[in-house]
Chain A
Amino acid sequence: MSETANSSTAITGAEIFCRSLQAEGVDVVFGYPGGAVLHIYDALYRQDKVSHVLVRHEQGAVHAAEGYAKSSDKPGVALVTSGPGATNAITGIADAYMDSVPLVVFTGQVPTSLIGNDAFQEVDTVGITRPCVKHNFLVKDVKDLATTIKKAFYVATTGRPGPVVVDIPKDVTAASCEFEYPESIHMRSYNPTFGGYTGQIDKAVDLILSAKQPMIYTGGGVILGKGSEALTEFTRKLGYPITNTLMGLGGYPSSDKQFLGMLGMHGTYEANMAMHHADVLIAIGARFDDRVTGNIEKFCPHAKIVHVDVDPSSISKNVKVDVPIVGEVEPVLRALIKALDAANAKPDPAALDAWWKQIREWQSQDCLKYDRESELIKPQYVVQKFWELTKGEAFVTSDVGQHQMWAAQFYGFDKPNRWINSGGLGTMGVGLPFAMGVQFAHPDATVGCITGEASIQMCIQELSTCYQYQLPIKILNLNNRYLGMVRQWQEFFYQGRYAMSYMDALPDFVKLAEAYGHVGMRIDKPGDVEGAIKEALAQKERLVFLDFITDQSENVYPMIPAGAGQNEMILV
């Protein structure tokens, strides 16, 4: 199958793959082998610069690569075989697409001569992934491999980041050619915005300074664009209230007094009320998701809106804005700060005072209160204790469900890239593989995975990977024996008909953890929560699975029911 090249400096496609990854500074690839990628695995084996982490399911590989990317400033890389390897990777790719995670996913493909023949383990990977990637490539000639890899990393990491799939037929990995990795790349059809378009800055500043009831609403773009320092300076300078989306948490220090908490369906009363009553809304790196806006007809009815986003298609997609600014958050915020300093006008102090008075009144609702005297373990209490005992310094991943919302509400993030969860696709099963990726990016950091007994079972096989690589992750399983988020909707909107939301026949998680070689602990009394977390944190070298038997009937409050406005919250 291999093409003999004339020149002695020619190397195989598989070697080109390795050398290209080295040139990109990739230190770890998450993957799983199979027939179509065996040449690549052989080449990886014969070098030592790029390490490979063997997961237990390709979904885990892609989520681990996401966790790595979300917690660091590098893209994540995954490698899977053709056919089932590629289809198993789809959920991870779609997840990365929805949350704009920079990833490069390499998929093996059947040899070019067999493409289209229903060959063994053939799927049309480029076709299947097309709607859930930023871009994808099929490499048909070894001579295109290095340039395609260069393009893939370039597209994945610039502009609005996202996953890029590179499908490599087996014969391309066997064929040889000269290797030269391009220094830089230009694509005439891809011109992401670098920096910011400053034409609208003055208009934005005028509007911002004219506000009487301003609100700053920021999202995942601030984390992705490394804008949190600039955002903090901008927000403090103005003295305006600020809220973060689920994806934006940590973009502004949650312990700061200008921070009103998360907004949206399970956001705080004060954040949502302030949105509803705002006269000027400053939206930065956020995409007006329906979990945030609630009923779009009732969204921010009084506000003029400034929107900063690197992706023009995010602007005026769901909500028409008044001052659009296409650009990266960091340089745009710097430009805004400069323009604010140069402006003669200042925010109206009397109006701002009155606005803050109103906001403090909303805050006095204490919308996140829960019963601290309960005999049962309250899930909120577990998260709060974990936050206290890790001094808010841990990296926290979560799965999807009630526990995710409690993690978001009760773990105060003061820094960006510390909160790793699935917002857009809402993928159960991400928590553990996310945590693996985070731990590889930060080997010495405390990594907590706040999960539920249903979600954790969707990628539970990765406990085996954690053992192989001795990842000391702390799993906090908020075990309510329910698909809690589903049960909550059934309680509120289906008169308590709990169709299929009960987790019958749960495994013994302590034994399960032990079977995988880890430490397991079951905690069923509130008085034991603190001690157990301390003990787990003390086990610096081991993965500890904390199975907290929590109050089954606990619900996530506050809540904006679907179709309601931001001022129509259900409170505790």
Chain B
Amino acid sequence: MRHIISVLLENESGALSRVAGLFSARGYNIESLTVAPTDDPSLSRMTIVTSGSDEIVEQITKQLNKLVDVIKLLDMTAHPHIEREMALIKVRVGEAADREEVKRLTDIFRGRIIDVTQQTYVIEITGEGSKLDAFLEAVSPFPVQEVVRSGVMGIARGDVALQL
């Protein structure tokens, strides 16, 4: 099963490679991993999307907790939560008709065009991974030049919070 694990860790050089190294050394799946410092600059928050049986995910959380740089973690999957991912997509739109149609699709998906040239659009779109997949599918008839996906971020709904 797919799990989203959010991790608070020391914002220190090397902390990220400890986590990445753990996943490769122990052969755990890693679908996506995002990381950035939090409002407290001594902390980083990481969101890892992984998959595995209950036993494996239990081991993953135990092994993550065992890393000395990891302070706290939360398996979002156990709680109602929100997931978001962002994509930046560059599409070639030389023909006027194409420009119309791509603009329309972007609006339908509540995306935004954030860069325009004679030949290209850059589209920004956020949502769950499946929405991004659907959008990419929708624009696939057009020549998509570049796709950048941020990887998933997650946060629990309501009172549940991952904090110190």
Contacts and interface: CB of A to CB of B under 8 A. Distances in A.
Contacts of B69: 189
A311 B14 contact: no
Contact of A320 (B25, B55, B70): B55
Contact of B59 (A130, A138, A188, A317): A317
Contacts of B66: 311-313
B71 interface: yes
B63 A130 contact: no
B94 interface: no
A2 interface: no
Given A155-B68, A189-B71, A311-B66, A130 B164 contact: no
B25 A189 contact: no
Contacts of B58: 316
A313 B26 CA distance: 13
A493 interface: no
A317 B60 CA distance: 10
A342 interface: no
Nearest to A313: B62
Contacts of A135: 68
A187 interface: yes
B17 interface: yes
Contacts of A316: 55, 58
Interface in A125-174: 126-127, 130-131, 134-135, 138, 155
A189 B68 contact: yes
A312 B62 CA distance: 7
Interface string B68-110: 1111000000000000000000000000000000000000000
Interface in B35-61: 55, 58-59
B57 to A, nearest CB: 12
B70 A189 contact: yes
B126 interface: no
Interface residues of B, number: 19
A189 B21 contact: no
A433 B90 CA distance: 62
Contacts, number: 35
Contact of B18 (A130, A138, A155, A312): A130
A174 B140 CA distance: 61
Contact of A134 (B21, B59, B62, B68): B68
Nearest to B60: A313
A155 B67 CA distance: 11
Contacts of B18: 130
Contacts of A317: 59
B59 A190 contact: no
B59 A313 contact: yes
B9 interface: yes
A313 B58 CA distance: 9
A317 B9 CA distance: 24
A188 B66 CA distance: 13
A320 B54 CA distance: 12
Nearest to A137: B14
Contacts of B63: 313
A131 B20 CA distance: 11
Interface in A301-329: 311-313, 316-317, 320
A316 B70 CA distance: 21
Interface string A472-485: 00000000000000
Contacts of A188: 71, 164
Contacts of B34: none
B163 to A, nearest CB: 12
Contacts of A312: 62, 65-66
Interface string A375-392: 000000000000000000
Nearest to A188: B71
Contacts of B21: 130-131
Given A313-B59, A316-B58, A317-B59, A127 B68 contact: no
Contacts of B25: 131
Contacts of B55: 316, 320
Nearest to A134: B68
Contact of A189 (B10, B14, B17): B10
Contact of B68 (A138, A187, A313): A187
Given A188-B164, A313-B59, A126 B14 contact: yes
A127 B16 CA distance: 12
A346 B105 CA distance: 74
Interface in A269-326: 311-313, 316-317, 320
Contacts of A126: 14
A316 B54 CA distance: 11
B17 A130 contact: yes
Interface string A186-199: 01111000000000
A317 B21 CA distance: 19
A317 B55 CA distance: 8
Contacts of B59: 313, 317
Nearest to B66: A313
A127 B17 contact: yes
Interface string B1-40: 0000000011000100110010001000000000000000
Contacts of B68: 134-135, 155, 187, 189-190
A565 to B, nearest CB: 21
Interface string B148-164: 00000000000000001
Contacts of B62: 312-313
A187 B71 CA distance: 9
Nearest to A312: B62
A385 B132 CA distance: 74
Contacts of A131: 21, 25
A312 B69 CA distance: 17
A190 B67 CA distance: 8
A258 to B, nearest CB: 33
A127 B18 CA distance: 9
* Most B Cβ at <10 Å: residue of A130, A155, A189, A320: A189
A189 B9 contact: yes
Contacts of A190: 68
Nearest to A133: B68
Contacts of A155: 68
6 contacts: A134-B68, A135-B68, A189-B9, A189-B71, A313-B59, A316-B55
Given A312-B66, A313-B65, A317-B59, 16 more contacts: A130-B14, A131-B25, A135-B68, A155-B68, A187-B68, A189-B10, A189-B69, A190-B68, A311-B66, A312-B62, A312-B65, A313-B62, A313-B63, A313-B66, A316-B58, A320-B55
Interface of B: 9-10, 14, 17-18, 21, 25, 55, 58-59, 62-63, 65-66, 68-71, 164
The 6 A-B residue pairs whose C-beta atoms are closest, nearest first, are A313-B62, A135-B68, A189-B71, A190-B68, A312-B62, A131-B25
